[in-house]
Amino acid sequence: MNTTLDQLKTGSRGVIKSIGGEGALRRRLLDMGLTPNTTVMVRKVAPLGDPIELHLRNYELTIRQEDAKKIEIQEVAE
């Protein structure tokens, strides 16, 4: 089942299927390691839902919810 990264619950994992956005935003997301077929886990979500802390490629990354909406993922069962 495909969804977007902002819909993933805390502690859940997903595999990135595609990166949306255009130009500099898309390039920045790719440069941060958010590439297709990468497994990501949501570590924390701020109390108001923004930003989201992710764990991927052995490091933590914090992104805005608006950017997470542009990343399509497939949720992985634990």
Tell me the mean pLDDT in the region 41-45.
Answer: 94
Helices marked H in the chain — which ranges?
23-31, 65-68
Are the beta carbons of 61 and 32 closer than 8 angstroms? yes
**Residue 4: pLDDT over 90:** yes
CATH of residue 31: 2.30.30.90
Tell me: the pLDDT tens digits for 49-68?
889 999 999 999 999 999 99
User: What per-residue confidence (pLDDT) applies to 2?
Assistant: 87
Tell me the mean pLDDT in the region 34-53.
Answer: 93
Helices marked H in 22-71 — which ranges?
23-31, 65-68
**Residue 46: pLDDT over 90:** yes
Counting every residue written for the chain, the total comes to 78
Whole domain around residue 31: which residue ranges?
Answer: 2-76
| CA–CA gap between residue 49 and residue 64 (Å, rounded) | 9
User: What per-residue confidence (pLDDT) applies to 49?
Assistant: 82
For the record, the structure tokens of 75 come out as 């949720």
Number of domains observed in the structure of the chain: 1
